Amino acid sequence: MSAPPWRQADRLAIATQAGYLSLLGIRQKDTTDPLLFPLFKQDLALGEGENIPCQVVHADAENYWTLTRGQLQLVQATLDPMLGPRLVKRGTSIPLGTLLHAVQTHKDADGRTTLFLTTQADEHPTCLCSAVDAEDGKIVWQRQLGVLPRQAPREIAGQIILPDAQGLMLFDPSKPSAKASEPWRRAGALARPTAVDRWISCFTYT
């Protein structure tokens, strides 16, 4: 394993360094089952190769969110009329990078769950906070958290210019700070993006 397994009262979900997702049942009281036993005939391959960074970041009774080589993927437990119980990948994977701390979740009044992930991109030094819909896997919103500078900041015409992996970050000291009641505080603007303009601004959490 490359990360601790996800555990529920009756099962374990394990993502292995060989790139497989395995679900194991846990023996229940007054049963003759083994202490641990496979719930499916076959494990699900999440990636190819050895020593793959892989982990289960969130799960419920039927859905298992895995992060493999920086790709967030939804896996569902299904019952196929011909093949029987099995694990199936749903939707397309989302490139997020390396998880920086445990995933947080929120369930709204309608019962819809949102996953909140804080990650660092694998291909460049950028930290993100992403809200992902746990039902369809779509990104609800995404914010860059601070900056990881590539050069020392410079002052130009009373403003601070700081190069980071996304381009030039512009900080204007003359702009008023955010209100204490606002959950996000805008810290700077992306003046000249070097890649796809996915983020308009840089945010820091208050």
Per-residue pLDDT tens over the stretch 45-87: 988 777 778 889 998 878 899 999 899 999 999 888 887 888 9
pLDDT greater than 90 at residue 116: yes
pLDDT at 206: 39
Q: What is the mean pLDDT of residues 132-148?
A: 84
What is the pLDDT confidence band of residue 102, given thresholds at 50, 70 and 90?
confident
Sign (positive or negative) of CA dihedral 66, 67, 68, 74: positive
Q: What is the mean pLDDT of the chain?
A: 80
19 or 200, which is more confident: 19
Do residues 28 and 43 make contact, with C-beta atoms less than 8 angstroms apart? no
Residue 2's pLDDT is 58
